[in-house]
Amino acid sequence: MKHITTLKNKKVLVLGLAKSGFSAAKMLHELGAIVTVNDFAKLQGDEHATTLRNLGIEVIDGGHPEDVQNGDFDLVVKNPGIPYTNIVIEKMVARNIPIWTEVELAYLISEAPIVGITGSNGKTTTTTLLYHLLNIDGKQPLIAGNIGTVATDVAQQATAEQTMITELSSFQLMGIESFRPHIAILTNLYDAHLDYHGTKDHYIEAKANLFKNQTAADFLIYNADQEEVVRVAERTKAQLYPFSRKRILARGMSADEEMIYWNGEPYLKRALIKIPGEHNLENVLAATAAALLLECSKGTVENVLSSFTGVKHRMQFVLEQNGIKFYNDSKATNTLATKSALQSFERSPILLIAGGLERGHSFEELRPYMNNVKAVITFGETRRRFAQFAQDCQVPIVETMETMEEGVARAITHAQTGDVVLLSPSCASWDQYGSFELRGEAFIDAVMKLTK
């Protein structure tokens, strides 16, 4: 790792502990910063807080006291989930104190070049697929960021011979200053996280931070099928490599019904790709473009694309019994993701299990894709509203349930050979589960239990 000196003796407030705050605080301390950690929650008995205090780092918990709000800090490193309406952040912004997320810190210490991947959907699949491509090719990639591994932890281990593949949320990208990925990937842009960003324009600006510091020595891979993405990509100084599943491009990655093309030339047969869905074709094109720019061999690409079937909780095949297939798409926390899932099975009758945290968003975007849905089983805070939507769409069977196990049991009751039982909630998980991963595991457990 790079042992930078720019943070030595700087007074840094780490706002929000969690995994990223813990990692950032330790790293800042190692780099010679004077660190204070503040978390609104009580941290009594918290192992991370105890570890930091044993290092001599001040940890203030149970609120945001005045001496934190008005503290003499040079820098704030905040947890990505903390909104800019937080009282501490508002006061720091008013005083022009820089606000980072730990992604910026990871960039400063990483010896490895970085691939940064963002977008409204497809980030995790693209990140995971690119990791497999580089790993099978012997390039020893590292994977980090929003996918679950704290970027600062990974950056400490990175060498110049490796590549750090980093999934980045809009929350993380708001807190960067000099962060510059060698390759940036923008998968798509849709309405998302507007409760955090306020407007779609603000959300897009956050995403555009991914490539704001790129130069002509860098690359931006972007979705040429979305006009909004094309417009925002035009801002960059990086070399542009678009991808399209709708037309053959003279530059970048594209596809038709038969072939995948690289820079306008046939590269491999599309039938080789095993992961289902048109949206996943976009993820394949983006990841493959990055792999080729990083000099992956064609043999590796063919090997990985013919075996990669997706990531856990994103269109994850669980099992097939009596001709009924079960898929876990718990990561579908918005209507766009559920729409993509429904499109992936447009030739099969679907029993959809959906619902979750009530944020007031409309389900109308799903209406054109409900024609082959034979049953909707809803749960969570939105269960009644989603059930009413399904009835309005004239879905033959609509039921509401309290628990995941009940929902899976009812779906099995109505399912027949050739059907797909699909968990694709279209809502966040936090009304009943701590994460979409826990929700997906509950679905898998219920399927395994009830299909024995």
Residue 190, token pair as written in the block: 């849709």
Instruction: Report whether 119 belongs to an annotated binding site.
Output: yes
Instruction: Report whether 125 belongs to an annotated binding site.
Output: yes
Instruction: Report whether 85 belongs to an annotated binding site.
Output: no
Is residue 165 within 8 Å of residue 171, measured between CB atoms? no
Instruction: Report whether 340 belongs to an annotated binding site.
Output: no
Instruction: Report whether 32 belongs to an annotated binding site.
Output: no
166 φ, ψ to 5°?
A: -125, 115
Residue type, 288: T
Pairing status of strand 253-255 against strand 34-39: unpaired
Instruction: Report whether 124 belongs to an annotated binding site.
Output: yes
Determine if residue 356 is left, alpha or beta; phi over 0 gives left, psi from -120 to 50 gives alpha, anything else beta.
left
Give residue 69's Cα distance to chain centre.
31
Instruction: Report whether 121 belongs to an annotated binding site.
Output: yes
Residue 381, token pair as written in the block: 């805070």
195 φ, ψ to 5°?
A: -65, -25
| Binding annotation for ATP | 119-125
| Binding annotation | 119-125
